[in-house]
Amino acid sequence: MNNNQSTQRPFSQRQLRVGELVKQNLGELFIRNEAKIPSINSKLITVTEVRMTPDLKTARVYVIPLGGIDTKETVRILTEFSHLVRRALSKRLDIKYLPKLTFVEDNSFEYAEKIEKIIKKNKENGKEKKKYN
């Protein structure tokens, strides 16, 4: 086990529960455009994951716009208007501390796509080798 793994604790059940609650509510308020964020169509934003800090005071919100287009710009706008998103979220959630929202671009789909291409390429190379043997 390397150093990084030993210092990182697994998420508690509470962190996972609150994270899922925040994720569902953010998804719904984006679909209904309840945050009223200027210059962005929140209906096109998917919340893929929410990770809570152990004290539940900060939520790291992983987002991806439809088609993965302009992800950095979407994250920038969401960060700039996070107070609007937070206000809309406060009307939906009844929890002790409303978490501070940190928006992050979700690269997992991009990463999965790269791996898929590598696997496909390896399969094709394997078929060509069989032809010549």
- Residue range 29-61, pLDDT digits in tens: 999 999 999 989 999 999 999 999 999 999 999
Q: Which residue has the higher pLDDT, 34 or 7?
A: 34
- Residue range 81-114, pLDDT digits in tens: 999 999 999 999 988 889 999 999 998 777 777 7
120 confidence band (pLDDT: 50, 70, 90) = confident
The predicted structure's pLDDT at residue 8? 64
The predicted structure's pLDDT at residue 109? 72
Q: Which residue has the higher pLDDT, 123 or 41?
A: 41
Give the orientation angle of helix 71-80 with respect to helix 82-90, to 10 degrees. Answer: 70
The predicted structure's pLDDT at residue 129? 64
Residue 98, SS3? coil
| DSSP-assigned letter for residue 8 | S
- From the candidate CATH numbers 3.40.50.1370, 3.40.50.1820, 3.50.50.60, 3.30.300.20, the one assigned to the domain spanning 3-106: 3.30.300.20
How many angstroms separate the CA atoms of 28 and 89, rounded? 10
Which amino acid is it at 24? Q
* Helices (runs of H) and strands (runs of E) counted in the chain: 5, 3
Q: What is the CA radius of gyration of the chain?
A: 19
Say what the pTM is. 0.77
Q: Which of 65, 32, 74, 70 is nearest to 46 (CA)?
A: 65
Q: Which residue has the higher pLDDT, 130 or 61?
A: 61
- Residue range 70-80, pLDDT digits in tens: 889 999 999 99
Going from N- to C-terminal start, the domains of the chain cover 3-106
Q: Which of 97, 116, 93 is nearest to 53 (CA)?
A: 97
